[in-house]
Amino acid sequence: MTQSTQSAIRNPQSAIGIPSRIFLVGFMGSGKTTVGRLLAERLGRRFIDLDEWIVERAGKSISQIFAEDGEVYFRQLEGELLRDVVKEPELVISLGGGAFVSEINRRVVKEHGVSVWLDCTFDVILKRLGDASDRPLNTSPDRLRELLESRLPSYSQADVRIDAGQVWPERLVDEIMQILRC
């Protein structure tokens, strides 16, 4: 976890001018949807939560998709809808916690905009998630920790990293806008 380091632009080239699409990535409970919605409001842009699109397209909840169709199917749908969503310009998009783990999805994101990783410590995540049953991968604290650690190498490939643990969402939006010069 890089919580103690400063938030950083990892790909300064992509941070010049307002990016056409801003993707929020990071683990479950890192605040992607809340921050994404606020950021979109501030920029006067449309906000898309990829998980909501999946639920709409599948006609059932994410827990149901996992239980009835399996995670592999969910990941296929996630990738397909991501490729659909990026056809539109001027968006703020929050991705589910596993979407940026796929190399193909990362490439799609890179080609279509700037990615912002909301980086949170495990303790913050655990506190926020509790035993929330709407997240099928939240089966135990040990499993969550393992999952988070296994995903850090993927999240760290985002263009921008923000310390998202202890700060109010509005402040995170300020910080993102400042870094992206929006």
Q: Which residues bind ligand S3P (CB under 6 A)?
A: 28, 32, 51, 62, 96-98, 135-137
Q: Which amino acid is at 137?
A: L
Kindly state the smallest distance separating residue 98's Cβ from ligand S3P, in Å. 3
What H or E segment, with its residue span, contains residue 122? helix 122-129
For ligand S3P, the nearest residue by Cβ is: 96
Kindly state the smallest distance separating residue 164's Cβ from ligand S3P, in Å. 12
Instruction: Check if the beta carbon of residue 30 is closer than 8 Å to that of residue 40.
Output: no
Considering the complex, state which of residue 24 and residue 114 has its C-beta at the smaller distance from ligand S3P.
24
Considering the complex, state which of residue 9 and residue 147 has its C-beta at the smaller distance from ligand S3P.
147
Instruction: Check if the beta carbon of residue 24 is closer than 8 Å to that of residue 179.
Output: no
Kindly state the smallest distance separating residue 27's Cβ from ligand S3P, in Å. 6
CA diameter of the chain: 44
3-class secondary structure, 72? helix
Radius of gyration of the chain (CA): 15
Considering the complex, state which of residue 8 and residue 67 has its C-beta at the smaller distance from ligand S3P.
67
Instruction: Check if the beta carbon of residue 36 is closer than 8 Å to that of residue 115.
Output: no
Kindly state the smallest distance separating residue 96's Cβ from ligand S3P, in Å. 2
Considering the complex, state which of residue 96 and residue 113 has its C-beta at the smaller distance from ligand S3P.
96
